[in-house]
Structure 1
Amino acid sequence: MKIVAICGAGVGTSGILKVNAERVLNRLDIDADVTASDLDNVASAAANAQVILTSPELVDRIGPTNADVVVVDNYFDLDEIERKLEEALG
């Protein structure tokens, strides 16, 4: 499974979201490849992804995708990330 964390520049917040998503997936015992990307490269980065993790303000800028787009309000809230990933993957 492939999950892509997206932010504007692909460095700061997407990196935080990537690390915290990996922690949650480890808790859930789910094996997935989690990467971070910027908004400009989302089409190629998420071409074969099952899930895209992003913030509310970037959702409308992602464009067409076959992945489930999961909006995360607080990148540091592991419980929120866990709940939303379980919904997307369940």
Structure 2
Amino acid sequence: MKILAVCGMGFGSSMVLKMSIESVLKSAGIKADVRTADIGIAKSETADVIVTSSEFSKLLQNKNIPVVVVKNYVDKKEIGEKLLPIVQGEKKGS
């Protein structure tokens, strides 16, 4: 499973988001390839799930990839509540 952590420039906040995602997935016993991307790369990149802010989610909705919108990139509880149901659904469908 490939997950993209997306921010405006592709570093900084997306790296923080990536680390939070990895922590949530590790706690749940889920393995995934989590990568960072800026909005331009994310538009052309393939992934199973995208995690980003509401601002950038609007630009990615037409990719036919689930987009998880988070308000706080370091809030592991929020990330887990929004991301895990999608990731676990993907695993069951695989």
TM-score scaled to structure 2, two decimals?
Answer: 0.87
Runs (4+) of structure 1 exceeding 6 A deviation are none
Corresponding residue SS for 2:26? helix
Aligned-residue CA RMSD (Å): 1.2
Structure 2 residue runs of 5 or longer lacking an equivalent are: 90-94
Partner of 1:76: 74
Q: What aligned pairs does 1:59-74 form with structure 2 within 5 A after superposition?
A: 59-62=57-60, 64-74=62-72
Counterpart amino acid of residue 4 in structure 1: L
Contact 1:50/1:66 (<8 A) preserved: no
Contact 1:72/1:80 (<8 A) preserved: yes
Q: Which has the higher helix share?
A: 2
Cα deviation for residue 28 of structure 1 reads 0.5
Structure 1 residue runs of 5 or longer lacking an equivalent are: none
Distance in 2 (CA, whole Å) between partners of 1:26 and 1:63 is 27
